[in-house]
Amino acid sequence: MFSGIIEEAGEVVELQYDKTNLNISLRCSFTNELKIDQSVAHNGVCLTVIDIKNDVYTVTAVQETLDKSNLGLLQIGSKVNLERSMMLNERLDGHIVQGHVDQTAICTDVQLAQGSWYYSFSYKTTSQMKAQGYLTVEKGSIAVNGVSLTVVHSKPNSFSIAIIPYTYEHTNFNQITVGSVVNLEFDIIGKYVSRLLSERQR
């Protein structure tokens, strides 16, 4: 489990396909603290460390992950939001993030607003997806590329979020422009509520 508080934006140094799987090697400042089999969220996707060499570690993304996330679009030099799993004695500064990306979204607008930034995103939705909790609510929580954020201007298939300078500088939001593809994980509590309500209506 994660909190959506990004530790660092790591850099992709190697991409290698093994049949349909993609091995992603990254460099970050805490590589020497990692161990094999450890879980790390990459743009919100929970992946397992499979190899460590000096200051570079490697994880593997399977085809389903590549289909549902933006990891298949990574290039050498891409910045990836990284977060290690939570410890039970830590404060939950963000919200409950599972590291299971639901779908991707497209950035439709970026606005600078007196030192902060407003990003707008649109995503595909169906009645079935809404019944599963794939939706946003005003002032609710959403994970975008693994970052825990508060929703503003919630609409049926789009929403906006505000980014403060610290988040802009320490995550890959500074690389997101109109047309960029981002990962979404909707609020797990909202998913359970939506599922229970849909079961009652059957």
In tens, the pLDDT along 28-44 reads 999 999 999 999 999 99
- Whether residue 75 has pLDDT greater than 80: yes
CA separation for the pair 200, 122 (Å, rounded): 29
Q: What is the pLDDT of residue 202?
A: 65
In tens, the pLDDT along 130-188 reads 888 899 999 999 999 999 999 999 999 999 999 999 999 999 999 999 999 999 999 99
What are the chain's domains? 8-84 (2.40.30.20), 103-200 (2.40.30.20)
Residue 90: CB atoms within 10 A of its CB come to 9
pTM tops 0.85: yes
CA separation for the pair 46, 62 (Å, rounded): 12
Question: How, if at all, do strands 141-144 and 181-186 pair?
Answer: antiparallel
pLDDT band at 94 (very low <50, low <70, confident <90, very high): confident
Residue 181: CB atoms within 10 A of its CB come to 15
